[in-house]
Amino acid sequence: MQELARLITEPEPCPYLGGRSSRTDLRLVQSIEPSEYRDHLREGFRRFGMMLFRPACEGCRACVPIRVPVDRFRPTKSQRRVMRRNRDVQVEIGQPAVDAERLEVYHAFHEERSARVGWKRQQISAEEYHRTFLQNIVATAELRYRVAGRLAAVAYIDLSPEAVNSIYCFHHPDFRRRSLGTFDVLVEIELARRSGRPHLYLGFHVADCRSMAYKASFRPAEVLVEGSWRELEPAAPARWLARGT
């Protein structure tokens, strides 16, 4: 791995849990071997563009890396309803790209989240979108979800030798009732299974954060605790698990 820079950020307000501060272990990477990337995923790192990162918060372990062993996954009744609800969705997979169509969905998604759950307002340019989703140190695929030809959601994933890594998904609020976030995870689980990759990495599970706790609804799930992956106990807050994000 060719590492360009490494730092621990200064404390800043936690984006997941109010009243707490957070710090992040950041690694700016020029290049990385597939086996090295696999090992970093196993160690709880996430990736955006050319940046590897994981929490480095003092005295807090609320952000827990989570993954799904795809061969053992069984959808819930709610997830099966989501699959049926989206039978008409056209799923496309290809190279990441940026255009007005993608930007419109991205901005609509963030505006709705800002109004509904208090996310910080975010408007990015095509150049910023390119840096975020198109400049990648590993092979990255774009999933596009269309309803009657209209772009409804976009997701980005990458492929390590033993896993699909879920990077980011955004969807237009016009299609909120379809639960396209849940549908995307189900598509990614099936993609991992069909490609012979045993795990789908879903990022961080934060039990007391509405935007992050839903990941525990994809069962069985494994979490990284004190350096070891172990099965997540069925105790996540039920009020968040039915969430179709």
Domain positions in the chain are: 64-241
Cα(201)–Cα(46) distance, integer angstroms: 9
pLDDT of residue 33: 94
Q: Span 66-88, mean pLDDT?
A: 97
Per-residue confidence at 84, pLDDT binned at 50, 70, 90? Answer: very high
Query: Looking at residue 130, what DSSP letter applies?
Result: I
Cα(166)–Cα(153) distance, integer angstroms: 14
Cα(113)–Cα(130) distance, integer angstroms: 22
Query: Looking at residue 60, what DSSP letter applies?
Result: -
pLDDT of residue 220: 95
5-46 pLDDT tens trace:
999 999 999 988 888 999 999 999 999 999 999 999 999 999
Per-residue confidence at 118, pLDDT binned at 50, 70, 90? Answer: low
| Residue spans of alpha helices (H) in the chain | 34-42, 77-85, 100-117, 126-129, 180-194, 210-213, 238-241
Mean pLDDT, the chain, integer: 91
pLDDT at 239 over 50: no
pLDDT of residue 119: 66
Q: What type of residue is 163?
A: A
pLDDT of residue 235: 60
Per-residue confidence at 160, pLDDT binned at 50, 70, 90? Answer: confident
**Residue % of the chain over a pLDDT of 70:** 93
133-143 pLDDT tens trace:
999 999 999 99
Homologous superfamily (CATH) for 64-241: Gcn5-related N-acetyltransferase (GNAT) (3.40.630.30)
pLDDT of residue 15: 85
Q: Span 98-123, mean pLDDT?
A: 85
